[in-house]
Chains A and B, each alone.
Chain A
Amino acid sequence: MSLIVDHISYTYDAKSGIPVVGLDDVSLVIPDGQFIGVIGHTGSGKSTLMQHLNGLLKATSGTIYYNGEDIYEKGFDLKKLRSKVGLVFQYPEHQLFAETVFADVCYGPTNLGLSKKECELRAYDALKKVGFPDDLIFTSPFELSGGQKRRAAIAGVLAMKPEILILDEPTAGLDPKGRDEILGQIKKLRQEENITVILVSHSMDDVAEYVDRIVVLNHGKVFLDNTPGEVFKCYRELEEIGLSAPQVTYIMHALSESGLKVNPEVTTISEAADEIAAALKRC
Chain B
Amino acid sequence: MEIVRAKDVVYEYIRRDDEGNIVGITKAVDHVNLGINKGDFVAILGHNGSGKSTLAKHFNAIFLPEEGTVWVDGMDTSDEEHLWDIRQSAGMVFQNPDNQIIAQVVEEDVGFGPENIGVPTEEIWKRVEESLKAVGMYEFRKYSPNKLSGGQKQRISIAGVLAMKPKCIVLDEPTAMLDPKGRKEVLEAVHELNKKEGVTVILITHYMEEVIDADKVFVMDGGQVVMQGTPKQVFSLVDELKELRLDVPQVTLLAYELKKRGINLPDGILTTEELVQNLRGI
- Interface residues of A, Cβ cutoff 8 Å to B: 40-43, 143, 145-147, 172-179, 202, 204-205, 242-244, 246-248, 250-251, 254-255, 258-260, 269-270, 272-274, 276-277, 280, 283
Assembly CA distance A273 to B95 (angstroms): 34
- Hey, which chain B residues are within 8 Å of A270, CB to CB? 257
Distance (whole angstroms) from the CB of B273 to the closest CB of chain A: 7
Assembly CA distance A175 to B151 (angstroms): 21
Report yes or no: A280 in contact with B282, Cβ–Cβ below 8 A.
Answer: yes
Report yes or no: B258 in contact with A277, Cβ–Cβ below 8 A.
Answer: yes
Residues of chain B in range 21-80 having any CB-CB distance to chain A below 8 Å: 46-50
Other-chain contact of B206, A145, A173, A277 (Cβ < 8 Å): A173
Q: A43-B149, A173-B176, A280-B263 are in contact. Are A247 and B249 (CB under 8 A)?
A: yes
Is B160 part of the binding interface, using a Cβ–Cβ cutoff of 8 Å? no
Q: What residue of chain B has the Cβ atom nearest to residue A44's Cβ?
A: B179
Report yes or no: A176 in contact with B246, Cβ–Cβ below 8 A.
Answer: yes
20 additional A-B pairs beyond A242-B180, A244-B181, beta carbons within 8 Å, are A42-B150, A42-B151, A42-B178, A173-B206, A174-B48, A175-B47, A175-B206, A177-B245, A178-B245, A179-B206, A202-B180, A202-B183, A247-B250, A248-B254, A258-B276, A259-B280, A276-B258, A276-B263, A276-B279, A280-B263
Report yes or no: B179 in contact with A42, Cβ–Cβ below 8 A.
Answer: yes
- Hey, which chain B residues are within 8 Å of A175, CB to CB? 46-48, 50, 206, 245-246
Q: A145-B48, A246-B250, A277-B258 are in contact. Are A251 and B176 (CB under 8 A)?
A: no
- Hey, which chain A residues are within 8 Å of B95, CB to CB? 173
Residues of chain B in range 243-276 having any CB-CB distance to chain A below 8 Å: 245-247, 249-251, 253-254, 257-258, 260-263, 272-273, 275-276
Other-chain contact of A41, B50, B149, B280 (Cβ < 8 Å): B149
- Hey, which chain A residues are within 8 Å of B180, CB to CB? 41, 202, 204, 242-244
| Residue of B208, B250, B260, B263 contacting most chain A CB atoms (<10 Å) | B250
Is B173 part of the binding interface, using a Cβ–Cβ cutoff of 8 Å? yes
- Hey, which chain B residues are within 8 Å of A269, CB to CB? 250, 253-254, 257
Report yes or no: B176 in contact with A242, Cβ–Cβ below 8 A.
Answer: no
Q: What residue of chain A has the Cβ atom nearest to residue B95's Cβ?
A: A173
Is B103 part of the binding interface, using a Cβ–Cβ cutoff of 8 Å? no
Is B12 part of the binding interface, using a Cβ–Cβ cutoff of 8 Å? no
- Hey, which chain A residues are within 8 Å of B196, CB to CB? none
Other-chain contact of A254, B46, B179, B183, B272 (Cβ < 8 Å): B272
Digit string of B4-15 for contact with A (CB within 8 Å is 1, else 0)? Answer: 000000000001
Assembly CA distance A41 to B261 (angstroms): 37
For this complex, 22 residue pairs linking A to B, each with C-beta atoms less than 8 Å apart, are A41-B149, A146-B49, A147-B48, A173-B176, A175-B206, A175-B246, A176-B206, A202-B178, A242-B182, A244-B184, A247-B272, A248-B254, A251-B250, A251-B254, A251-B272, A254-B272, A260-B279, A273-B260, A273-B261, A276-B254, A277-B258, A277-B263
Q: What residue of chain B has the Cβ atom nearest to residue A240's Cβ?
A: B181
Assembly CA distance A274 to B262 (angstroms): 11
- Hey, which chain A residues are within 8 Å of B179, CB to CB? 40-42, 202, 242-243
Other-chain contact of B49, A145, A247, A254, A277 (Cβ < 8 Å): A145
Assembly CA distance A259 to B281 (angstroms): 12
Assembly CA distance A241 to B181 (angstroms): 9
Assembly CA distance A246 to B151 (angstroms): 19
Assembly CA distance A202 to B178 (angstroms): 7
Assembly CA distance A251 to B49 (angstroms): 33
Q: What residue of chain B has the Cβ atom nearest to residue A175's Cβ?
A: B47
Assembly CA distance A247 to B206 (angstroms): 16
- Hey, which chain A residues are within 8 Å of B257, CB to CB? 269-270, 272-273
Is B209 part of the binding interface, using a Cβ–Cβ cutoff of 8 Å? yes
Other-chain contact of A258, B206, B258, B280 (Cβ < 8 Å): B280
Which 7 pairs across A and B sit closest by C-beta, in order of nearness?
A177-B245, A176-B247, A242-B181, A273-B257, A247-B250, A175-B47, A244-B180
- Hey, which chain A residues are within 8 Å of B276, CB to CB? 251, 254-255, 258
Assembly CA distance A169 to B237 (angstroms): 29
Q: What residue of chain B has the Cβ atom nearest to residue A278's Cβ?
A: B261
Q: What residue of chain B has the Cβ atom nearest to residue A201's Cβ?
A: B179
Distance (whole angstroms) from the CB of B43 to the closest CB of chain A: 14
- Hey, which chain B residues are within 8 Å of A173, CB to CB? 48, 95, 173, 176-177, 206
| Residue of B95, B209, B258, B273 contacting most chain A CB atoms (<10 Å) | B258
Q: What residue of chain B has the Cβ atom nearest to residue A250's Cβ?
A: B272
Q: A172-B176, A243-B179, A260-B280 are in contact. Are A178 and B48 (CB under 8 A)?
A: yes
Assembly CA distance A176 to B250 (angstroms): 12
Q: What residue of chain B has the Cβ atom nearest to residue A41's Cβ?
A: B179
Q: What residue of chain B has the Cβ atom nearest to residue A253's Cβ?
A: B272
Assembly CA distance A277 to B255 (angstroms): 11
Q: What residue of chain B has the Cβ atom nearest to residue A176's Cβ?
A: B247
- Hey, which chain B residues are within 8 Å of A274, CB to CB? 261
- Hey, which chain B residues are within 8 Å of A260, CB to CB? 279-280
Assembly CA distance A18 to B149 (angstroms): 19
- Hey, which chain A residues are within 8 Å of B242, CB to CB? 177
Other-chain contact of A248, B46, B246, B250 (Cβ < 8 Å): B250
Report yes or no: B49 in contact with A280, Cβ–Cβ below 8 A.
Answer: no
Report yes or no: B246 in contact with A172, Cβ–Cβ below 8 A.
Answer: no
